[in-house]
Amino acid sequence: METIKMKLIYPKWQKLRGQTTFTLPPHGPVAYAATLPEYVDISFTDENVEEIDFDEECDVVSLSVMLSTQVKRAWEIAAEYQKRGKKVFAGGISAMLHAEEFVDHVDSLFLGESEGRSEQQVLDWKNGCLKKVYNYMGNQPPIESVGPCRRDLYKRELYNHKGVQMVDLFHASRGCRFSCYPCAVSYLGGRKFRPRPIDKVVEDMAGIENNRLFIVDNSLAQDKEWEKELFRAIAPLKKKWISHTIEDDPEVLDLAAKAGAWYVYQAVYDTSDYIKERVKRYHDYGIGVEGTILLGLDNQSVDDCKRLIDFLGEIDLDLAEFTVMTPFPHTKGYDDLLRQGRIFDFDWNHYNAGQVVFQPAKMTPDELQDVYEYAWKSFYASETQESKMFRLFCNVALREMEEGTYVPRNRALANKSFGKEVDRRAPHQNV
Amino acid sequence: MKVQERYYDEVFEFKGQWDMPSSCGLKLREVGGKTYVVVTELYQDNPGTSVTYAGRSLAEQICEAKGLKLDEVVYIECTPNTNSKLSFYDEEYFEVDFNADKQHMYRRLPVEEVKSILGNEAEV
Protein backbone atom coordinates (compact mmCIF):
# COMPACT_ATOMS: atom_id res chain seq x y z
CA MET A 1 0.00 0.00 0.00
CA GLU A 2 1.24 3.45 -0.90
CA THR A 3 2.18 5.65 2.06
CA ILE A 4 -0.43 8.12 3.33
CA LYS A 5 0.84 11.16 5.15
CA MET A 6 -1.41 12.06 8.07
CA LYS A 7 -1.11 15.24 10.10
CA LEU A 8 -2.29 14.38 13.63
CA ILE A 9 -3.08 17.37 15.84
CA TYR A 10 -3.92 17.83 19.50
CA PRO A 11 -5.49 21.31 19.74
CA LYS A 12 -4.38 23.82 22.34
CA TRP A 13 -6.42 24.63 25.42
CA GLN A 14 -6.13 27.10 28.22
CA LYS A 15 -5.02 25.86 31.63
CA LEU A 16 -6.93 26.72 34.78
CA ARG A 17 -5.76 29.82 36.56
CA GLY A 18 -3.71 28.57 39.51
CA GLN A 19 -2.93 25.22 37.92
CA THR A 20 0.71 24.40 37.22
CA THR A 21 1.97 25.23 33.75
CA PHE A 22 3.38 21.74 33.29
CA THR A 23 2.28 20.17 30.03
CA LEU A 24 2.08 16.40 29.89
CA PRO A 25 2.37 14.42 26.68
CA PRO A 26 -1.23 13.66 25.64
CA HIS A 27 -2.43 10.09 25.62
CA GLY A 28 -5.37 10.12 23.18
CA PRO A 29 -3.46 10.97 19.97
CA VAL A 30 -0.78 8.32 20.49
CA ALA A 31 -3.35 5.68 21.50
CA TYR A 32 -5.25 6.42 18.26
CA ALA A 33 -2.03 6.49 16.22
CA ALA A 34 -1.20 2.99 17.48
CA THR A 35 -4.38 1.67 15.85
CA LEU A 36 -3.48 2.95 12.38
CA PRO A 37 -1.77 0.69 9.84
CA GLU A 38 1.95 1.03 9.07
CA TYR A 39 1.35 2.67 5.69
CA VAL A 40 0.00 5.73 7.49
CA ASP A 41 2.98 8.01 8.08
CA ILE A 42 2.06 10.26 11.01
CA SER A 43 3.40 13.69 11.81
CA PHE A 44 2.15 14.74 15.24
CA THR A 45 1.74 18.27 16.60
CA ASP A 46 0.61 19.05 20.12
CA GLU A 47 -0.44 22.66 19.79
CA ASN A 48 0.06 23.17 23.52
CA VAL A 49 3.82 23.01 23.03
CA GLU A 50 4.38 24.02 19.40
CA GLU A 51 2.73 25.95 16.60
CA ILE A 52 0.92 24.18 13.79
CA ASP A 53 2.53 24.55 10.38
CA PHE A 54 -0.60 24.53 8.24
CA ASP A 55 1.52 24.35 5.12
CA GLU A 56 3.32 21.14 6.11
CA GLU A 57 2.75 18.60 3.38
CA CYS A 58 0.11 15.99 4.22
CA ASP A 59 -2.63 13.95 2.57
CA VAL A 60 -5.17 14.00 5.37
CA VAL A 61 -5.61 15.58 8.80
CA SER A 62 -6.84 14.01 12.03
CA LEU A 63 -7.77 15.92 15.18
CA SER A 64 -7.64 14.26 18.58
CA VAL A 65 -9.79 16.14 21.08
CA MET A 66 -9.98 15.40 24.78
CA LEU A 67 -11.42 18.47 26.51
CA SER A 68 -14.51 20.59 25.95
CA THR A 69 -12.20 23.60 25.91
CA GLN A 70 -10.42 22.18 22.85
CA VAL A 71 -13.59 21.80 20.82
CA LYS A 72 -13.87 25.27 19.31
CA ARG A 73 -10.15 25.43 18.58
CA ALA A 74 -10.46 22.07 16.83
CA TRP A 75 -13.17 23.54 14.60
CA GLU A 76 -10.91 26.49 13.73
CA ILE A 77 -8.09 24.14 12.81
CA ALA A 78 -10.46 22.02 10.72
CA ALA A 79 -11.65 25.10 8.84
CA GLU A 80 -8.07 26.17 8.14
CA TYR A 81 -7.19 22.79 6.61
CA GLN A 82 -10.48 22.58 4.71
CA LYS A 83 -9.64 25.94 3.12
CA ARG A 84 -6.46 24.22 1.89
CA GLY A 85 -8.52 21.40 0.39
CA LYS A 86 -7.65 18.79 3.01
CA LYS A 87 -10.12 16.33 4.47
CA VAL A 88 -10.29 16.45 8.26
CA PHE A 89 -11.07 13.55 10.61
CA ALA A 90 -11.80 13.99 14.32
CA GLY A 91 -12.13 11.70 17.31
CA GLY A 92 -11.48 11.52 21.03
CA ILE A 93 -13.43 12.09 24.21
CA SER A 94 -14.80 15.54 23.45
CA ALA A 95 -15.49 14.73 19.82
CA MET A 96 -17.83 12.10 21.31
CA LEU A 97 -19.33 14.37 23.97
CA HIS A 98 -19.98 17.15 21.47
CA ALA A 99 -20.59 14.92 18.47
CA GLU A 100 -23.81 16.58 17.29
CA GLU A 101 -21.95 19.85 16.76
CA PHE A 102 -18.65 18.33 15.69
CA VAL A 103 -20.19 16.59 12.74
CA ASP A 104 -20.86 19.98 11.12
CA HIS A 105 -17.22 21.05 11.34
CA VAL A 106 -15.21 18.08 10.11
CA ASP A 107 -15.33 15.79 7.10
CA SER A 108 -15.45 12.58 9.11
CA LEU A 109 -16.13 11.96 12.78
CA PHE A 110 -14.97 8.82 14.59
CA LEU A 111 -17.07 7.88 17.62
CA GLY A 112 -15.88 5.19 20.00
CA GLU A 113 -12.64 3.30 20.57
CA SER A 114 -10.45 2.91 17.52
CA GLU A 115 -8.68 -0.46 17.99
CA GLY A 116 -9.33 -2.54 14.88
CA ARG A 117 -11.56 0.15 13.33
CA SER A 118 -9.50 3.19 12.37
CA GLU A 119 -8.06 1.70 9.19
CA GLN A 120 -11.53 1.57 7.59
CA GLN A 121 -11.84 5.34 7.80
CA VAL A 122 -8.46 5.76 6.09
CA LEU A 123 -9.29 3.23 3.36
CA ASP A 124 -12.68 4.84 2.69
CA TRP A 125 -10.99 8.23 2.36
CA LYS A 126 -8.42 6.71 0.00
CA ASN A 127 -11.18 5.12 -2.09
CA GLY A 128 -13.26 8.29 -2.21
CA CYS A 129 -16.11 6.96 -0.09
CA LEU A 130 -15.37 8.59 3.26
CA LYS A 131 -18.35 8.46 5.61
CA LYS A 132 -19.45 11.44 7.67
CA VAL A 133 -19.59 9.35 10.84
CA TYR A 134 -17.90 6.12 11.92
CA ASN A 135 -20.08 5.18 14.81
CA TYR A 136 -18.85 2.62 17.34
CA MET A 137 -20.57 4.11 20.38
CA GLY A 138 -21.44 1.43 22.91
CA ASN A 139 -19.60 -1.15 20.82
CA GLN A 140 -16.19 -1.43 22.43
CA PRO A 141 -13.46 -3.57 20.86
CA PRO A 142 -12.04 -6.47 22.88
CA ILE A 143 -9.90 -5.01 25.64
CA GLU A 144 -7.12 -7.46 24.65
CA SER A 145 -6.75 -5.51 21.40
CA VAL A 146 -5.50 -2.41 23.23
CA GLY A 147 -1.77 -2.28 22.61
CA PRO A 148 1.15 0.06 23.34
CA CYS A 149 0.74 3.70 22.33
CA ARG A 150 2.89 5.32 19.60
CA ARG A 151 5.04 7.24 22.10
CA ASP A 152 7.73 7.50 19.44
CA LEU A 153 5.64 10.35 18.00
CA TYR A 154 6.34 12.63 20.96
CA LYS A 155 8.99 15.28 20.59
CA ARG A 156 10.33 14.52 24.04
CA GLU A 157 12.25 17.75 24.46
CA LEU A 158 8.95 19.63 24.38
CA TYR A 159 7.68 17.77 27.48
CA ASN A 160 10.64 18.66 29.58
CA HIS A 161 10.96 21.34 32.27
CA LYS A 162 14.52 22.46 33.01
CA GLY A 163 15.89 19.03 32.16
CA VAL A 164 13.20 17.02 33.98
CA GLN A 165 11.05 14.83 31.76
CA MET A 166 7.30 14.90 32.40
CA VAL A 167 5.43 11.72 33.30
CA ASP A 168 4.00 9.50 30.56
CA LEU A 169 0.28 8.79 30.65
CA PHE A 170 -0.74 5.16 30.73
CA HIS A 171 -3.97 3.20 30.94
CA ALA A 172 -4.44 -0.21 32.53
CA SER A 173 -8.20 -0.37 32.01
CA ARG A 174 -11.14 1.31 30.30
CA GLY A 175 -14.77 1.87 31.22
CA CYS A 176 -16.13 2.48 34.69
CA ARG A 177 -18.72 0.70 36.79
CA PHE A 178 -19.45 3.89 38.71
CA SER A 179 -21.60 6.59 37.21
CA CYS A 180 -20.69 9.67 39.20
CA TYR A 181 -22.72 12.86 39.05
CA PRO A 182 -20.23 15.10 37.19
CA CYS A 183 -18.53 12.40 35.08
CA ALA A 184 -19.13 11.17 31.51
CA VAL A 185 -16.75 8.21 31.50
CA SER A 186 -19.49 5.61 31.78
CA TYR A 187 -21.15 7.14 28.69
CA LEU A 188 -17.88 7.21 26.79
CA GLY A 189 -16.29 3.93 27.76
CA GLY A 190 -19.26 1.92 28.94
CA ARG A 191 -20.71 1.21 32.37
CA LYS A 192 -18.53 -1.85 32.74
CA PHE A 193 -15.02 -1.87 34.11
CA ARG A 194 -12.77 -3.39 31.43
CA PRO A 195 -9.32 -4.18 32.82
CA ARG A 196 -6.56 -4.93 30.37
CA PRO A 197 -4.90 -8.36 30.71
CA ILE A 198 -2.12 -8.05 33.27
CA ASP A 199 0.58 -9.48 30.96
CA LYS A 200 -0.29 -6.85 28.33
CA VAL A 201 -0.10 -4.08 30.92
CA VAL A 202 3.31 -5.25 32.12
CA GLU A 203 4.68 -5.59 28.60
CA ASP A 204 3.35 -2.16 27.64
CA MET A 205 4.62 -0.45 30.78
CA ALA A 206 8.06 -2.09 30.53
CA GLY A 207 8.46 -0.68 27.03
CA ILE A 208 8.08 2.94 28.12
CA GLU A 209 11.37 4.80 28.34
CA ASN A 210 10.27 6.85 31.29
CA ASN A 211 10.42 5.73 34.88
CA ARG A 212 7.55 8.02 35.91
CA LEU A 213 4.00 7.43 34.80
CA PHE A 214 0.49 8.68 35.40
CA ILE A 215 -1.98 5.79 35.28
CA VAL A 216 -4.96 7.75 34.05
CA ASP A 217 -7.67 5.11 34.59
CA ASN A 218 -10.80 6.58 36.09
CA SER A 219 -10.40 4.64 39.30
CA LEU A 220 -8.25 1.62 40.04
CA ALA A 221 -10.58 0.72 42.89
CA GLN A 222 -13.04 -1.28 40.81
CA ASP A 223 -11.91 -4.88 41.10
CA LYS A 224 -9.80 -5.63 44.15
CA GLU A 225 -8.35 -8.93 42.93
CA TRP A 226 -7.30 -7.44 39.56
CA GLU A 227 -5.87 -4.42 41.37
CA LYS A 228 -3.76 -6.61 43.66
CA GLU A 229 -2.60 -8.74 40.75
CA LEU A 230 -1.71 -5.59 38.81
CA PHE A 231 0.39 -4.16 41.63
CA ARG A 232 2.21 -7.45 42.19
CA ALA A 233 2.96 -7.72 38.48
CA ILE A 234 4.28 -4.19 37.93
CA ALA A 235 6.36 -3.99 41.12
CA PRO A 236 9.48 -5.56 39.50
CA LEU A 237 9.47 -2.79 36.86
CA LYS A 238 10.30 -0.27 39.61
CA LYS A 239 8.30 2.46 37.89
CA LYS A 240 6.98 5.32 39.96
CA TRP A 241 3.43 6.34 39.23
CA ILE A 242 0.57 8.68 39.97
CA SER A 243 -3.03 7.46 39.79
CA HIS A 244 -6.58 8.18 40.77
CA THR A 245 -8.13 6.47 43.77
CA ILE A 246 -6.78 3.15 45.05
CA GLU A 247 -8.86 0.71 47.10
CA ASP A 248 -8.90 1.66 50.79
CA ASP A 249 -7.57 -1.66 52.04
CA PRO A 250 -4.30 -2.25 53.94
CA GLU A 251 -3.20 -5.12 51.70
CA VAL A 252 -3.92 -3.16 48.51
CA LEU A 253 -2.20 -0.02 49.81
CA ASP A 254 0.84 -2.05 50.83
CA LEU A 255 1.02 -3.67 47.40
CA ALA A 256 0.52 -0.28 45.70
CA ALA A 257 3.37 1.24 47.69
CA LYS A 258 5.65 -1.66 46.79
CA ALA A 259 4.58 -1.32 43.15
CA GLY A 260 5.77 2.29 43.05
CA ALA A 261 2.71 4.39 43.97
CA TRP A 262 4.07 7.94 44.11
CA TYR A 263 0.93 9.92 44.82
CA VAL A 264 -2.78 9.56 44.20
CA TYR A 265 -5.67 11.89 43.50
CA GLN A 266 -8.28 11.65 46.22
CA ALA A 267 -11.61 13.46 46.14
CA VAL A 268 -12.20 15.52 49.28
CA TYR A 269 -15.94 16.10 49.39
CA ASP A 270 -16.63 16.66 53.07
CA THR A 271 -14.92 17.39 56.38
CA SER A 272 -15.42 13.95 57.89
CA ASP A 273 -12.98 11.89 59.92
CA TYR A 274 -13.26 9.31 57.15
CA ILE A 275 -11.51 11.65 54.70
CA LYS A 276 -8.90 12.61 57.28
CA GLU A 277 -8.15 8.97 58.03
CA ARG A 278 -8.18 8.04 54.33
CA VAL A 279 -5.44 10.59 53.63
CA LYS A 280 -3.50 9.43 56.68
CA ARG A 281 -3.68 5.81 55.55
CA TYR A 282 -2.12 6.71 52.18
CA HIS A 283 0.64 8.59 53.98
CA ASP A 284 1.22 5.66 56.36
CA TYR A 285 2.22 3.64 53.29
CA GLY A 286 4.44 6.42 51.89
CA ILE A 287 1.95 7.41 49.19
CA GLY A 288 1.42 11.14 48.62
CA VAL A 289 -2.04 12.65 48.19
CA GLU A 290 -3.31 15.35 45.89
CA GLY A 291 -6.80 16.34 46.98
CA THR A 292 -9.33 17.08 44.28
CA ILE A 293 -11.98 19.44 45.50
CA LEU A 294 -15.14 20.09 43.52
CA LEU A 295 -16.89 23.30 44.52
CA GLY A 296 -20.45 24.37 43.76
CA LEU A 297 -22.45 21.23 44.42
CA ASP A 298 -26.05 21.81 45.43
CA ASN A 299 -25.46 21.07 49.10
CA GLN A 300 -22.68 23.69 49.41
CA SER A 301 -23.06 27.30 50.51
CA VAL A 302 -20.15 29.75 50.53
CA ASP A 303 -19.57 28.90 54.20
CA ASP A 304 -19.60 25.18 53.45
CA CYS A 305 -16.97 25.69 50.76
CA LYS A 306 -14.79 27.75 53.07
CA ARG A 307 -15.13 25.15 55.81
CA LEU A 308 -14.03 22.50 53.33
CA ILE A 309 -11.06 24.63 52.24
CA ASP A 310 -10.04 25.22 55.89
CA PHE A 311 -10.33 21.49 56.51
CA LEU A 312 -7.64 20.83 53.89
CA GLY A 313 -5.12 22.45 56.23
CA GLU A 314 -5.94 19.83 58.87
CA ILE A 315 -5.47 16.73 56.74
CA ASP A 316 -1.92 17.25 55.51
CA LEU A 317 -2.54 17.07 51.77
CA ASP A 318 0.57 17.21 49.62
CA LEU A 319 -1.21 19.09 46.84
CA ALA A 320 -4.72 20.23 46.06
CA GLU A 321 -6.57 20.97 42.85
CA PHE A 322 -9.81 22.89 42.83
CA THR A 323 -12.53 22.86 40.22
CA VAL A 324 -16.04 24.24 40.00
CA MET A 325 -18.95 21.99 39.17
CA THR A 326 -19.28 21.97 35.38
CA PRO A 327 -22.19 20.34 33.57
CA PHE A 328 -20.38 18.47 30.83
CA PRO A 329 -22.72 16.89 28.28
CA HIS A 330 -23.74 13.28 28.93
CA THR A 331 -23.40 13.58 32.70
CA LYS A 332 -26.16 13.49 35.27
CA GLY A 333 -25.01 16.94 36.31
CA TYR A 334 -25.82 18.25 32.83
CA ASP A 335 -29.22 16.57 32.73
CA ASP A 336 -30.25 17.86 36.16
CA LEU A 337 -29.08 21.43 35.67
CA LEU A 338 -30.55 21.58 32.16
CA ARG A 339 -33.95 20.39 33.42
CA GLN A 340 -33.81 22.95 36.18
CA GLY A 341 -32.99 25.73 33.70
CA ARG A 342 -29.79 26.57 35.60
CA ILE A 343 -27.21 26.43 32.81
CA PHE A 344 -26.69 29.98 31.52
CA ASP A 345 -23.56 29.53 29.42
CA PHE A 346 -23.18 27.03 26.58
CA ASP A 347 -19.85 28.37 25.27
CA TRP A 348 -17.62 25.28 25.39
CA ASN A 349 -14.52 27.46 25.78
CA HIS A 350 -15.83 28.25 29.25
CA TYR A 351 -16.22 24.59 30.20
CA ASN A 352 -12.77 24.38 31.77
CA ALA A 353 -13.97 23.53 35.29
CA GLY A 354 -12.62 26.85 36.50
CA GLN A 355 -15.37 29.11 35.20
CA VAL A 356 -18.93 29.07 36.54
CA VAL A 357 -21.45 28.34 33.79
CA PHE A 358 -24.50 27.51 35.89
CA GLN A 359 -26.57 28.91 38.72
CA PRO A 360 -25.46 27.20 41.97
CA ALA A 361 -28.20 26.26 44.46
CA LYS A 362 -26.93 28.03 47.58
CA MET A 363 -24.85 30.93 46.25
CA THR A 364 -24.60 33.23 43.28
CA PRO A 365 -22.35 32.39 40.32
CA ASP A 366 -20.07 35.27 41.36
CA GLU A 367 -19.82 33.95 44.90
CA LEU A 368 -18.86 30.52 43.60
CA GLN A 369 -16.27 32.07 41.28
CA ASP A 370 -14.84 34.04 44.23
CA VAL A 371 -14.71 31.04 46.53
CA TYR A 372 -12.92 29.08 43.80
CA GLU A 373 -10.23 31.80 43.52
CA TYR A 374 -10.04 31.93 47.32
CA ALA A 375 -9.49 28.16 47.48
CA TRP A 376 -6.38 28.23 45.28
CA LYS A 377 -4.91 31.26 47.05
CA SER A 378 -5.69 30.01 50.51
CA PHE A 379 -4.30 26.50 50.07
CA TYR A 380 -1.04 27.70 48.55
CA ALA A 381 -0.63 30.80 50.78
CA SER A 382 2.01 29.36 53.10
CA GLU A 383 3.86 27.29 50.52
CA THR A 384 3.68 27.67 46.75
CA GLN A 385 2.49 24.93 44.49
CA GLU A 386 5.94 24.70 42.89
CA SER A 387 7.53 24.20 46.29
CA LYS A 388 5.01 21.52 47.30
CA MET A 389 5.56 19.77 43.97
CA PHE A 390 9.31 19.96 44.45
CA ARG A 391 8.95 18.13 47.76
CA LEU A 392 6.95 15.37 46.09
CA PHE A 393 9.55 15.27 43.34
CA CYS A 394 12.36 14.88 45.89
CA ASN A 395 10.50 11.98 47.52
CA VAL A 396 10.34 10.09 44.27
CA ALA A 397 13.91 10.95 43.28
CA LEU A 398 15.21 9.59 46.60
CA ARG A 399 13.29 6.35 46.14
CA GLU A 400 14.65 6.02 42.62
CA MET A 401 18.20 6.59 43.85
CA GLU A 402 17.77 3.82 46.41
CA GLU A 403 16.51 1.48 43.70
CA GLY A 404 19.09 2.50 41.10
CA THR A 405 16.53 3.79 38.61
CA TYR A 406 17.15 7.52 39.00
CA VAL A 407 17.91 9.33 35.76
CA PRO A 408 19.66 12.67 36.36
CA ARG A 409 18.14 15.70 34.71
CA ASN A 410 19.15 16.36 31.13
CA ARG A 411 21.66 19.21 31.46
CA ALA A 412 21.30 20.08 27.78
CA LEU A 413 17.71 21.10 28.50
CA ALA A 414 18.36 22.84 31.82
CA ASN A 415 17.57 26.23 30.29
CA LYS A 416 14.44 25.09 28.51
CA SER A 417 10.89 24.68 29.66
CA PHE A 418 8.53 22.92 27.27
CA GLY A 419 10.64 23.92 24.31
CA LYS A 420 10.98 27.56 25.29
CA GLU A 421 14.02 29.33 26.71
CA VAL A 422 13.85 29.88 30.46
CA ASP A 423 14.56 33.45 31.48
CA ARG A 424 16.93 33.00 34.40
CA ARG A 425 17.65 36.67 34.88
CA ALA A 426 16.58 38.25 38.15
CA PRO A 427 13.41 40.36 37.75
CA HIS A 428 15.34 43.68 37.91
CA GLN A 429 17.48 42.56 34.95
CA ASN A 430 14.38 42.31 32.77
CA VAL A 431 13.76 46.04 32.86
CA MET B 1 -28.09 2.85 42.18
CA LYS B 2 -30.59 0.20 41.18
CA VAL B 3 -33.91 1.81 40.30
CA GLN B 4 -36.89 0.24 42.04
CA GLU B 5 -39.38 -1.51 39.79
CA ARG B 6 -42.28 0.49 41.19
CA TYR B 7 -41.10 3.35 38.98
CA TYR B 8 -42.10 1.64 35.76
CA ASP B 9 -44.54 -0.78 34.20
CA GLU B 10 -42.08 -1.82 31.54
CA VAL B 11 -38.50 -1.26 30.47
CA PHE B 12 -38.54 0.48 27.11
CA GLU B 13 -35.58 -0.18 24.84
CA PHE B 14 -34.73 2.70 22.55
CA LYS B 15 -32.08 3.95 20.16
CA GLY B 16 -30.10 6.59 21.98
CA GLN B 17 -27.69 9.18 20.61
CA TRP B 18 -25.80 7.72 17.67
CA ASP B 19 -28.02 4.61 17.86
CA MET B 20 -26.60 3.52 21.20
CA PRO B 21 -28.78 0.77 22.65
CA SER B 22 -30.51 2.46 25.61
CA SER B 23 -33.22 1.68 28.16
CA CYS B 24 -35.67 3.63 30.29
CA GLY B 25 -38.57 2.90 32.59
CA LEU B 26 -42.00 3.64 31.11
CA LYS B 27 -45.50 4.20 32.46
CA LEU B 28 -48.52 5.35 30.45
CA ARG B 29 -51.46 6.83 32.34
CA GLU B 30 -54.84 8.19 31.27
CA VAL B 31 -56.03 10.84 33.71
CA GLY B 32 -58.78 13.39 33.10
CA GLY B 33 -58.86 12.72 29.38
CA LYS B 34 -55.11 13.26 28.99
CA THR B 35 -52.43 10.71 28.18
CA TYR B 36 -49.34 10.95 30.35
CA VAL B 37 -46.07 9.36 29.24
CA VAL B 38 -43.73 8.99 32.21
CA VAL B 39 -40.17 7.98 31.41
CA THR B 40 -37.74 7.10 34.20
CA GLU B 41 -33.96 7.21 34.06
CA LEU B 42 -32.54 3.78 34.94
CA TYR B 43 -28.94 4.88 35.60
CA GLN B 44 -26.79 1.73 35.88
CA ASP B 45 -29.34 -0.31 33.92
CA ASN B 46 -29.34 2.14 31.03
CA PRO B 47 -26.32 1.23 28.90
CA GLY B 48 -26.64 4.23 26.58
CA THR B 49 -28.07 7.73 26.42
CA SER B 50 -29.90 9.30 29.36
CA VAL B 51 -33.61 10.04 28.98
CA THR B 52 -32.90 13.76 29.21
CA TYR B 53 -30.24 13.73 26.54
CA ALA B 54 -32.33 11.50 24.28
CA GLY B 55 -35.21 13.99 24.71
CA ARG B 56 -37.48 14.35 21.71
CA SER B 57 -36.03 11.33 19.94
CA LEU B 58 -37.03 9.08 22.86
CA ALA B 59 -40.49 10.65 23.05
CA GLU B 60 -40.99 10.01 19.34
CA GLN B 61 -39.84 6.41 19.64
CA ILE B 62 -42.27 5.78 22.51
CA CYS B 63 -45.15 7.41 20.65
CA GLU B 64 -44.44 5.39 17.55
CA ALA B 65 -44.27 2.14 19.52
CA LYS B 66 -47.44 2.88 21.46
CA GLY B 67 -49.51 4.43 18.67
CA LEU B 68 -49.59 7.87 20.28
CA LYS B 69 -49.16 11.37 18.86
CA LEU B 70 -46.45 13.40 20.57
CA ASP B 71 -48.41 16.65 20.45
CA GLU B 72 -51.34 14.96 22.16
CA VAL B 73 -49.52 13.57 25.20
CA VAL B 74 -48.07 15.09 28.33
CA TYR B 75 -44.47 13.93 28.44
CA ILE B 76 -42.84 13.61 31.86
CA GLU B 77 -39.31 12.71 32.85
CA CYS B 78 -38.75 11.14 36.23
CA THR B 79 -35.45 11.00 38.09
CA PRO B 80 -36.06 8.24 40.62
CA ASN B 81 -35.01 8.05 44.22
CA THR B 82 -32.14 5.58 44.32
CA ASN B 83 -31.79 5.69 48.10
CA SER B 84 -28.42 7.29 47.61
CA LYS B 85 -26.89 9.39 50.37
CA LEU B 86 -26.31 12.03 47.73
CA SER B 87 -29.00 14.67 47.34
CA PHE B 88 -28.82 14.60 43.55
CA TYR B 89 -30.40 11.15 43.34
CA ASP B 90 -33.75 12.17 44.83
CA GLU B 91 -37.10 11.70 43.13
CA GLU B 92 -38.22 14.50 40.84
CA TYR B 93 -40.70 14.84 37.98
CA PHE B 94 -40.44 17.28 35.07
CA GLU B 95 -42.94 18.00 32.31
CA VAL B 96 -41.09 18.51 29.03
CA ASP B 97 -42.07 20.99 26.32
CA PHE B 98 -40.00 20.07 23.27
CA ASN B 99 -40.99 23.26 21.47
CA ALA B 100 -39.42 25.54 24.10
CA ASP B 101 -35.77 26.61 24.18
CA LYS B 102 -33.24 24.69 26.29
CA GLN B 103 -33.68 26.85 29.36
CA HIS B 104 -37.48 26.73 29.40
CA MET B 105 -38.07 23.21 28.21
CA TYR B 106 -38.62 21.67 31.64
CA ARG B 107 -41.16 22.39 34.35
CA ARG B 108 -40.69 20.71 37.69
CA LEU B 109 -44.00 19.27 38.81
CA PRO B 110 -45.22 20.08 42.30
CA VAL B 111 -46.08 17.15 44.56
CA GLU B 112 -49.85 17.60 44.19
CA GLU B 113 -49.62 17.47 40.41
CA VAL B 114 -47.51 14.32 40.47
CA LYS B 115 -49.95 12.69 42.87
CA SER B 116 -52.88 13.67 40.66
CA ILE B 117 -51.25 11.73 37.81
CA LEU B 118 -49.67 8.81 39.61
CA GLY B 119 -51.65 8.65 42.84
CA ASN B 120 -49.86 6.66 45.50
CA GLU B 121 -47.27 5.34 43.05
CA ALA B 122 -45.27 8.53 43.55
CA GLU B 123 -43.08 8.96 46.57
CA VAL B 124 -42.66 12.73 46.39
Of the candidates B18, B47, B52, which has its C-beta nearest A191's C-beta?
B47
In whole angstroms, what is the distance from residue A90 CA to residue A78 CA?
9
Per-residue pLDDT of chain A (431 residues; tens, 9 = 90+): 899 999 999 999 988 776 667 899 999 999 999 999 999 999 999 999 999 999 999 999 999 999 999 999 999 999 999 999 999 999 999 999 999 999 999 999 999 999 999 999 999 999 999 999 999 988 899 999 999 999 999 999 999 999 999 999 999 999 887 777 888 887 888 878 999 999 999 999 999 999 999 999 988 988 999 999 999 999 999 999 999 999 999 999 999 999 999 999 999 999 999 999 999 999 999 999 999 999 999 999 999 999 999 999 999 999 999 999 999 999 989 999 999 999 999 999 999 999 999 999 999 999 999 999 999 999 999 999 989 999 999 999 999 999 999 999 999 999 999 999 987 665 555 44
The closest CB to that of A336, out of B47, B48, B88, belongs to B88
Q: What is the mean pLDDT of residues B25-37?
A: 96
d(CA A318, CA A309): 14
* Cβ–Cβ below 8 Å for A135 and B79: no
* Residues of chain B positioned with their CB less than 8 A from the CB of A190: 47
Q: Provide the ipTM.
A: 0.74
pTM of the prediction? 0.89
Q: Which residues of A touch B (CB under 8 A)?
A: 99-100, 111, 133, 135, 137-138, 179, 181, 187, 190-191, 297-299, 329-330, 332-336, 338-341, 343-344, 346
Please name each of the domains of chain A with its CATH number: 4-137 (3.40.50), 144-403 (3.30.750.200)
Which of A101, A332, A337 should one mutate to test binding to chain B, selecting the residue with the greatest count of B CBs within 10 A?
A332
Indicate the residue of A111, A137, A335 with minimum beta-carbon distance to B50.
Answer: A335
